[in-house]
Amino acid sequence: MELKIQRAIVKFGMEDLYEYSDVDVLIVGAGPSGLTSAKYLADKGFKVLVYEKRLSFGGGIGGGGNMIPKIVVQEEALPILKDFKIKYKEAEKNLYTIDPAELIAKLAVGALDAGAKIILGVHVEDVIVRDNPPRVTGVLWRWTAIEISGLHVDPLYTQSKALIDATGHGAEIVQIAAEKNPELNIIIKGEKSNWSEVSEKLVVDYTGKVAEGLYVTGIAVCEVFGLPRMGPIFGGMLMSGKKIAEIIEKDLRG
Amino acid sequence: MELKIQRAIVKFGMEDLYEYSDVDVLIVGAGPSGLTSAKYLADKGFKVLVYEKRLSFGGGIGGGGNMIPKIVVQEEALPILKDFKIKYKEAEKNLYTIDPAELIAKLAVGALDAGAKIILGVHVEDVIVRDNPPRVTGVLWRWTAIEISGLHVDPLYTQSKALIDATGHGAEIVQIAAEKNPELNIIIKGEKSNWSEVSEKLVVDYTGKVAEGLYVTGIAVCEVFGLPRMGPIFGGMLMSGKKIAEIIEKDLRG
Amino acid sequence: MELKIQRAIVKFGMEDLYEYSDVDVLIVGAGPSGLTSAKYLADKGFKVLVYEKRLSFGGGIGGGGNMIPKIVVQEEALPILKDFKIKYKEAEKNLYTIDPAELIAKLAVGALDAGAKIILGVHVEDVIVRDNPPRVTGVLWRWTAIEISGLHVDPLYTQSKALIDATGHGAEIVQIAAEKNPELNIIIKGEKSNWSEVSEKLVVDYTGKVAEGLYVTGIAVCEVFGLPRMGPIFGGMLMSGKKIAEIIEKDLRG
Amino acid sequence: MELKIQRAIVKFGMEDLYEYSDVDVLIVGAGPSGLTSAKYLADKGFKVLVYEKRLSFGGGIGGGGNMIPKIVVQEEALPILKDFKIKYKEAEKNLYTIDPAELIAKLAVGALDAGAKIILGVHVEDVIVRDNPPRVTGVLWRWTAIEISGLHVDPLYTQSKALIDATGHGAEIVQIAAEKNPELNIIIKGEKSNWSEVSEKLVVDYTGKVAEGLYVTGIAVCEVFGLPRMGPIFGGMLMSGKKIAEIIEKDLRG
Amino acid sequence: MELKIQRAIVKFGMEDLYEYSDVDVLIVGAGPSGLTSAKYLADKGFKVLVYEKRLSFGGGIGGGGNMIPKIVVQEEALPILKDFKIKYKEAEKNLYTIDPAELIAKLAVGALDAGAKIILGVHVEDVIVRDNPPRVTGVLWRWTAIEISGLHVDPLYTQSKALIDATGHGAEIVQIAAEKNPELNIIIKGEKSNWSEVSEKLVVDYTGKVAEGLYVTGIAVCEVFGLPRMGPIFGGMLMSGKKIAEIIEKDLRG
Amino acid sequence: MELKIQRAIVKFGMEDLYEYSDVDVLIVGAGPSGLTSAKYLADKGFKVLVYEKRLSFGGGIGGGGNMIPKIVVQEEALPILKDFKIKYKEAEKNLYTIDPAELIAKLAVGALDAGAKIILGVHVEDVIVRDNPPRVTGVLWRWTAIEISGLHVDPLYTQSKALIDATGHGAEIVQIAAEKNPELNIIIKGEKSNWSEVSEKLVVDYTGKVAEGLYVTGIAVCEVFGLPRMGPIFGGMLMSGKKIAEIIEKDLRG
Amino acid sequence: MELKIQRAIVKFGMEDLYEYSDVDVLIVGAGPSGLTSAKYLADKGFKVLVYEKRLSFGGGIGGGGNMIPKIVVQEEALPILKDFKIKYKEAEKNLYTIDPAELIAKLAVGALDAGAKIILGVHVEDVIVRDNPPRVTGVLWRWTAIEISGLHVDPLYTQSKALIDATGHGAEIVQIAAEKNPELNIIIKGEKSNWSEVSEKLVVDYTGKVAEGLYVTGIAVCEVFGLPRMGPIFGGMLMSGKKIAEIIEKDLRG
Amino acid sequence: MELKIQRAIVKFGMEDLYEYSDVDVLIVGAGPSGLTSAKYLADKGFKVLVYEKRLSFGGGIGGGGNMIPKIVVQEEALPILKDFKIKYKEAEKNLYTIDPAELIAKLAVGALDAGAKIILGVHVEDVIVRDNPPRVTGVLWRWTAIEISGLHVDPLYTQSKALIDATGHGAEIVQIAAEKNPELNIIIKGEKSNWSEVSEKLVVDYTGKVAEGLYVTGIAVCEVFGLPRMGPIFGGMLMSGKKIAEIIEKDLRG
């Protein structure tokens, strides 16, 4: 029986890797904004792939606020919660509490049932570029385990029409693209201290394209554009994820 | 706005902690068998709480087989997949492949929608015991972050009628109970080398109670009863989770 | 009984966290200057909260001078020792030795009995800001255990009218405020080499406000204003703590 | 001025080390039971020294219950709280909450003002023994910093008539004495799982002498005598500390 | 071009993994004895696979003797050197020096050109067993990077008719088989101190089968059978590798 | 016998170290480009020495593409594969797959049989320089084990007419030479993101001399000259190794 | 000039390694007892070699007592101090203080000027044995740097007529010999707690042979024979070193 | 007896610390240049103190050249060897080999017998400064163990008329003085690559004062003045140590 299991996994798993070497949209990071964008993009019919460096999804959601298992969203985000069938409870005017575990699981199911593919344990270490005009056309990735191990192993490729950095505070993908390719003309301003009210709005406003083929969503937006950060309030993350889906739809179909 | 967020989280999060200090069934480990048992127990109307040491769920599922993102189940487990609305694809006779990310997310949603509560980032470090007759009545837990930090901090309690060890290979909860309380008469035989066919059956057969108030499910069953292990095949895990739910229902209602 | 203990701690502990989400003065660091300022500010009737990253207080006091369990103060600081009922012994003209353990314990009791609240094991990781004019209105904090663990967990907030950086050599809070918020116009000059006599005076002279809502006391003053450091002599620390209390009283009541 | 500070610390600090090379009672561990016993023993006129491995006191108190800053005591311990002037608040019948920071600071001030000496940053690594009859007559200690550094450095000595192990869960001193000196006939049974009600009583009952010259108090009692542990309830700790003081008074004066 | 590279590697690499899921002989360890046995077994027409945990071959050869880049063999091993076309130089009667780098490279080329497959970076973590009679039928393996990373990821399988432990000092495979499967009746005696002359002979004499389906060669033989070790002399290793090939040929063809 | 082995290794190993203190060409790094250049240079009659920091050769080859054991080369590199007798298989037009283990072993045998010397476990930590004109005349090296250990130990020397940096991504040797010797006028531009097609050509074009006595080959060329990187395609590496051999031949014989 | 330095070191250093492959007495550990024995044995005309794992000598001397730079010896050891020209100062009756730095340096000079060879940075990892009768005839050693690095590198040999374990608390050499060679019939009793007066005498009394060819001196004697330890008093160490020299002289000349 | 040992060490050790709080010359680093300067300065009648961060002396001497236990000096340094009674052997014209262990021990004995005091295990972490004119008047130091432990402990002071940085490659003391005190106008140029012949001369030429009260000797000279480094040749180190002694004599007596 072991041989059958082995060959089923190698054969069907590798068919997936082969198939997903070339996608419409590649999202790096399976946190709130990444998963939200995955669902709406898959809903629109794109071939969507999400790479997550950990072995499960949720990004910074799982620890709630300083480990207290509760987080909040504001009224504007309720339609998205409804799209994902996530329960919420009014805490006070325009502020709703939700369960972190449910938010993680339902965001993932939402994305998966819409047709997005999520591959866990993947570390993206570089981007693929072309010039004239300069653009980003995919990534170089390795299993996170290789990254942690420090072993010297070459990466593989994934090709994308649109690449979304949904990696959170460090904006890791934009950072790499900026540092290694001056011709992309990306300037990273660095996240500012906390101002929840203002930042929840700005993070959605600034969500968008940073170079041809490269987009940013979620808290990584604050890092790139020098916006204040927020705390354990997730409405802006979800709305940013939805907005980037709309922008990319326009760009890819435009 | 920060003050409102802060107080909403502290107030509503702590109400949950207060409420979930006392449950019918406490499951340690949000991997395949733990989440399966959570759903079926919650379906039966029990107050169910799951503690997971990481900040997301899925246990060993997320890495597929040696990172190849595909795992398998056998035919007997298909009804459970259907209960959770998980897609599968026939690989060959009696062997079906499933997507690891989907398995994680749908198991969690299944448990949550049935009414189970999942709290992430919780490390269970000891059990509560009573004697005459000896029995286990709950656990001592701390945030995983405290465990990792090595800081000397006292735990809190959670009281349970039934405690399920769904922690996987180490059978951590049974291990602690056995080592510290000889009067529970628990002997841990240690997992044996791999024999997938045989072990997929035995792991279900041996699923059950190990002491008053303490049950074991999933791969931890192999550790406790000296059974062979299996590999990236998950049917036995799911069926063991379902079976422990039935056993506990009988014990608590009996 | 476990359930009663559990619920008493969750209920009453969380009431404190709720209550102390909003304070007059928030002091970061329970070393000599932080605790001194806590006492005098609480004496003046302010609602005072102290966050300390370790699980006990005392900062750099406990190791005496290179572990020899004795430290010194000069004559000008004796009135403060008397306020805290700390014993001292003349070593030679204008130089008194004190017991480090007693200094720690009595500074803490002085602050607590005056009505200040001290919460241990708290790591402040960012500040809350507002603009026009730019000002600091509180902090973002997590349990130190989370910080050490490296887990990705969102912080909580505490709102303050005055925030005091009493974190010692690194001036951690001022550093964060300065780096992330150029509009606060804070320049950190960096501590200079040792000149005890001069620095004991200058550290008190320079104690004060560094931005709207943000103050600095103790050895952090040397870091911010480029003053020489001192060694295991603590008079300047105590006097700086007392002075900042007077400045803040004026600012908040003015 | 630096030279004066230097010489004041070396001279007066070393006089203390010289003086405290020989004491009536040496307590290892400045947690709740250690500090309580220190106060009552010093009150009785003994020369008392406390060695604490960290650079501040409080043992496991500072983290409250799983970092929630609140702990509890039962009614029987209220007289001790009163002796130390520690505030408490009734949570429910026979259960009182106290502030962890205040408990730490007031226990320390109580011990110090009674005349006990506390030296911080000291790691006890072995005991001094004599035979015929076998007895413990002191300890070998090094700065904790040396222990952490892994450097090969010889210890110093402290001589005692009575040595109290108040080191908590590991019962480190009794452990060393037992392992290295079979003729002391000490058997360590190992702490059992939690049963707060029973263990709060037993920990006081079993507090006492484990070999000539060697005593045990606090949670270390559970380790040595195989008692169940408790959680963030501290009445037993305080009463154990008071009881060991009475036993030693009888032994040394008897 | 990236997509072409990606798909060529995924397709052809995975065909190899699929193909090599089931082999005649699986050798764990690409040191001197493992590579020697690989060549002679492949020469005999068996389907041979070598798993090596590092990302290159050679085991303990590369460091010579205490980093001095020279090792020795005795006269009896010269025919094997000739089979592999390895140069040697007489040092004195019956003792020849060889170049460590050449030994590594030529052993590997010898094995590869004979038709053996070597896969690098593979950590074998368990064996597959069957009972009645008890026998070993393959292994569970993961990328070494996963092992180093500490991530919780399920292994894959490889099925074998004969499994050779050529892992060196720890005899890792025999160790696992023995510890987890008492019915295999394997007793590990532990390597003894050095006696080069005697041990160079005994290591060849004891080379052989340790359980049905499981064989041992090279320095692991000393570990299993309690023989003295040798030092930087490699004749015994090569001759043991050749001998195990002959034994397995007989067993598989017998 | 031990004494004979000992003295044979010390005597003959040290004769090698003595002899190889002074070489025509010193290559740092035994990866694809380093080994290729070693063979062609030795073929031309130069005294060639390769220092490799690990205890075996192959650089980044052994992990294939993200651990999938297969790598590719393009058509232009086939003549080199033939020189080294390495098998290849057409994947599609102008793209051939090869076995990583075979590539490593045959590159090494090719270099060794041509007469190059490879010493493993050597860390090069600095270069030897002369001025007027500024030139590099050799290296300072220590065993890698010393480097890892952090012990303070002086290096030894090796003198060379031509020194090749074949260390890969970091271009470690050129980096050291540039940082410590401004008069060499070396500017390191830093590797750019991936563009396989372009970079496979440019890496060969830019292969060459960076200062008198100092040359660069392989992926280190991208680091030095700011070229895009490639992925698990190795044709450029091999062709760069061959080209540097031709350039150096001209320079040394010129 | 670099080439000359290189070749002088390789040539003359290696002549020493060759020459010192075979000695009369090999002492492991350059602490107080090891260096003392080295001097007296060299004085008697033996070819003496000392291996020390650190890069300088002195063992536990350098840290004095808990870093206070002073140690003591009793009257009986004064003749040895005189032999080494070490200054001492009476502290009180029969107790003399000495300077740790001077003790280290003069012990080393004493040994060297008597003709002993000291090689630093050497880790002894095993012994060479013969049977019938069982005896120890030398050691296997590697540079300490290799040990720390964790690299897999074979050791070299040194042959001895008498091997002295002067490694201190762990009695590392006797430990290895005992564990790996049951036929040597060595039982290690483990050091007991401190009793300075008694142990200073017993350590000299028990100094001697533990197996044919293997001797023990210094604090390792306490480990082997189950004697109490002492603290920063070094008379016993020196006298034990002198005594072992006398015993070995008799055995080798016997 | 333990009490006597304890009090002798505390009393006499502390008298030394008290006495050596104020010296003529403080040398940081007990390597070749530091110890050489210590001897010649003590010979001239100065009160000399050496602080060494390790627990023994010798700096980088003990590892010889890449662990081969031999180092070299040139002819010009022979008079210094003679002053210290160190044996040497001609290797070739103007190049002599010496034994590293002997060099360490004899340099130390030379310094000690001349009257210098060496305290081991001391980490210097800052300097004492005065202005108008800016000058260095001593250091702040802690036990190295504290530094390694990372504990927050205040330093002690030592006052000096002349402070010598003999810390080797990093020039640690000059580095600290330069970074923290711009008014000292010290610019650190950074060591260059190796050119032994030239650097052996320049290191002596540049030996001298870097600021009022602060001097530099040995390899730290290369770091400060941007000179090439040398390798395992030690003549320059010894001559630099002798020269700094002469310069300081002039400055202090001048």
| Span D106-155, pLDDT tens digits | 999 999 999 999 999 999 999 999 988 999 999 999 999 999 999 999 99
**Averaged pLDDT of chain F:** 97
Whether B31 has a pLDDT exceeding 90, the answer reads yes
Cα gap C147→C159, rounded to integer Å: 21
The DSSP letter of residue D121 is S
Which of the residues H16, H21, H54 would you substitute to probe the D interface, choosing the one with the greatest number of D C-beta atoms within 10 Å? H21
- Cβ separation of F148 and G150 shorter than 8 Å? yes
pLDDT at B152: 96
pLDDT at G232: 93
| DSSP 3-state of D103 | helix
Share of chain F above pLDDT 90, in %: 97
pLDDT tens profile G195-245: 999 999 999 999 999 999 999 999 999 999 999 999 999 999 999 999 999
The DSSP letter of residue B118 is E
- H198: part of which helix (H) or strand (E)? helix H196-206
Q: If you search the block for the tokens 């052993």, which residue do you land on?
A: E107
Q: What is the mean pLDDT of residues E25-37?
A: 98
Q: Which residue of F has its CA nearest to H62?
A: F153
Share of chain B above pLDDT 70, in %: 100
Taking the CA of residue G55 and the nearest CA in chain H, the distance in Å comes to: 5
- Cβ separation of A130 and F195 shorter than 8 Å? yes
Q: Which residue of C has its CA nearest to B157?
A: C6
Q: Which residue of E has its CA nearest to F57?
A: E56
Q: Which two tokens stand for residue B218?
A: 């999933």
Chain B residues bordering chain C (beta-carbon distance below 8 Å)? 2-3, 5-7, 9-11, 14, 17-18, 21-22, 55, 121, 128, 138, 143-146, 148-153, 156-159
E-D interface (Cβ pairs under 8 Å ≥ 3)? no
Cis amide bond preceding H133, omega within 30: yes
B-C interface (Cβ pairs under 8 Å ≥ 3)? yes
pLDDT at H1: 87
> Measured between beta carbons, which residues in chain F are less than 8 angstroms from residue H71?
154
Taking the CA of residue A54 and the nearest CA in chain B, the distance in Å comes to: 9
Cα gap E18→E22, rounded to integer Å: 8
| DSSP 3-state of B14 | helix
Cα gap F193→F201, rounded to integer Å: 15
Q: Which residue of G has its CA nearest to F146?
A: G145
Name the residue type at position C3: L
The DSSP letter of residue F227 is P
**Averaged pLDDT of chain G:** 97
pLDDT at A132: 84
Q: Are strands F48-52 and F117-120 parallel, antiparallel or unpaired?
A: parallel
Surface-to-core class of residue D64, CB atoms within 10 Å of its CB (0-12 exposed, 13-18 middle, 19+ buried): buried
Q: What is the mean pLDDT of residues E207-235?
A: 97
Cα gap C18→D191, rounded to integer Å: 36
pLDDT tens profile A129-142: 998 899 999 999 99
Which of the residues C55, C61, C147 would you substitute to probe the D interface, choosing the one with the greatest number of D C-beta atoms within 10 Å? C55
pLDDT at D1: 87
CA-CA-CA-CA torsion for B67, B72, B77, B79, nearest 10 degrees?
90
Angle at B66 between CA B65 and CA B68, to 5 degrees: 65
pLDDT at H87: 98
Q: Residues B176, D229: contact at Cβ < 8 Å?
A: no
Cα gap H32→H35, rounded to integer Å: 6
Name the residue type at position E3: L
> Measured between beta carbons, which residues in chain H are less than 8 angstroms from residue D55?
151-153
Q: Residues E100, E234: contact at Cβ < 8 Å?
A: no
Q: What is the mean pLDDT of residues H42-55?
A: 98
Cα gap G30→G23, rounded to integer Å: 17
Confidence of residue B254 (pLDDT cuts 50, 70, 90): confident
Q: Which residues pair with E139 in a beta bridge?
A: E127, E158
- Cβ separation of A157 and F64 shorter than 8 Å? no
Write the CA distances from C52 to C22, C29, C124, integer angstroms.
Answer: 17, 5, 9
- Least CB-CB distance to F128: which of G2, G152, G157? G2
Q: Determine whether the annotation assigns residue D229 to a binding site.
A: yes
Name the residue type at position A64: G
Q: Are strands B71-74 and E156-165 parallel, antiparallel or unpaired?
A: unpaired
Q: Which residue of H has its CA nearest to C229?
A: H128
Whether E20 has a pLDDT exceeding 90, the answer reads yes
Taking the CA of residue F122 and the nearest CA in chain E, the distance in Å comes to: 9
Cα gap A95→A93, rounded to integer Å: 6
Q: Which of F251, F170, F240 is nearest to F211 (CA)?
A: F251
Taking the CA of residue H103 and the nearest CA in chain D, the distance in Å comes to: 24
- Least CB-CB distance to C65: which of H128, H152, H156? H156
Q: If you search the block for the tokens 């090719």, which residue do you land on?
A: F110
**Averaged pLDDT of chain C:** 97
Name the residue type at position A70: K
Distance from the first to the final alpha carbon of chain D:
51
Q: Which residue of D has its CA nearest to B176?
A: D193
- Cβ separation of A68 and C155 shorter than 8 Å? no
pLDDT at E88: 98
Share of chain E above pLDDT 70, in %: 100
pLDDT at D241: 98
User: Phi and psi dihedrals of C87, rounded to 5?
Assistant: -75, 150
Q: What is the mean pLDDT of residues D234-239?
A: 98
Q: Which residue of C has its CA nearest to D231?
A: C2
Secondary structure E strands in F99-152: 117-120, 122-130, 135-143
- Least CB-CB distance to H2: which of D11, D150, D157? D157
pLDDT at F201: 97
Which of the residues A130, A146, A161 would you substitute to probe the E interface, choosing the one with the greatest number of E C-beta atoms within 10 Å? A146
> Measured between beta carbons, which residues in chain F are less than 8 angstroms from residue G126?
none
Cα gap B22→C6, rounded to integer Å: 10
Taking the CA of residue D188 and the nearest CA in chain G, the distance in Å comes to: 17
Taking the CA of residue E148 and the nearest CA in chain B, the distance in Å comes to: 13
Q: Determine whether the annotation assigns residue C37 to a binding site.
A: no
Share of chain E above pLDDT 90, in %: 97
- Cβ separation of H65 and F176 shorter than 8 Å? no
- Cβ separation of E194 and G156 shorter than 8 Å? no
Interface E:G, Cβ pairs < 8 A: 62
Q: Residues 6 or more apart from A158 whose CB is under 8 A from it?
A: A20, A21, A22, A23, A26, A49, A51, A138, A139, A141, E6
Confidence of residue G111 (pLDDT cuts 50, 70, 90): very high
> Measured between beta carbons, which residues in chain E are less than 8 angstroms from residue A20?
none
pLDDT at F254: 78
Interface F:H, Cβ pairs < 8 A: 62
> Measured between beta carbons, which residues in chain F are less than 8 angstroms from residue H193?
126-129, 176-177, 180-181
Confidence of residue G132 (pLDDT cuts 50, 70, 90): confident
Q: Which of G146, F53, F153, G3 is nearest to H65 (CA)?
A: F153
Confidence of residue G97 (pLDDT cuts 50, 70, 90): very high
Chain C residues bordering chain H (beta-carbon distance below 8 Å)? 59-60, 62-68, 71, 168, 190-195, 228-229, 231-232
CB atoms within 10 A of CB D182: 12
Write the CA distances from F83 to C53, E87, F42, F78, integer angstroms.
Answer: 64, 21, 14, 9
Q: Which of C163, C170, C139 is nearest to C215 (CA)?
A: C163
Confidence of residue A254 (pLDDT cuts 50, 70, 90): confident
Residues tagged in the binding site annotation of B for glycine: 229
Q: Which of H72, H193, D70, A135 is nearest to F135 (CA)?
A: H193
Cα gap E44→E10, rounded to integer Å: 31
Chain A residues bordering chain C (beta-carbon distance below 8 Å)? 59-60, 62-68, 71, 168, 190-195, 228-229, 231-232
- Least CB-CB distance to A149: which of E18, E145, E159? E145
- Cβ separation of F177 and H195 shorter than 8 Å? no
Share of chain D above pLDDT 90, in %: 97
Structural domains in chain H?
23-253 (3.50.50.60)
Whether H132 has a pLDDT exceeding 90, the answer reads no
Cα gap H30→G102, rounded to integer Å: 13
Cα gap E103→E61, rounded to integer Å: 8
- Least CB-CB distance to D177: which of G63, G193, G231? G193
List chains adjacent to chain A, taking adjacency as at least 3 C-beta pairs closer than 8 Å. B, C, E, F
List chains adjacent to chain D, taking adjacency as at least 3 C-beta pairs closer than 8 Å. B, C, G, H
- Cβ separation of C5 and D231 shorter than 8 Å? yes
Whether E254 has a pLDDT exceeding 90, the answer reads no
- Cβ separation of A17 and B99 shorter than 8 Å? no
Q: Which of A140, A179, A28 is nearest to F230 (CA)?
A: A140
Interface B:C, Cβ pairs < 8 A: 91
Whether G254 has a pLDDT exceeding 80, the answer reads no
Whether D105 has a pLDDT exceeding 80, the answer reads yes
Q: What is the mean pLDDT of residues C228-249?
A: 97
Q: Which two tokens stand for residue G23?
A: 């000695």
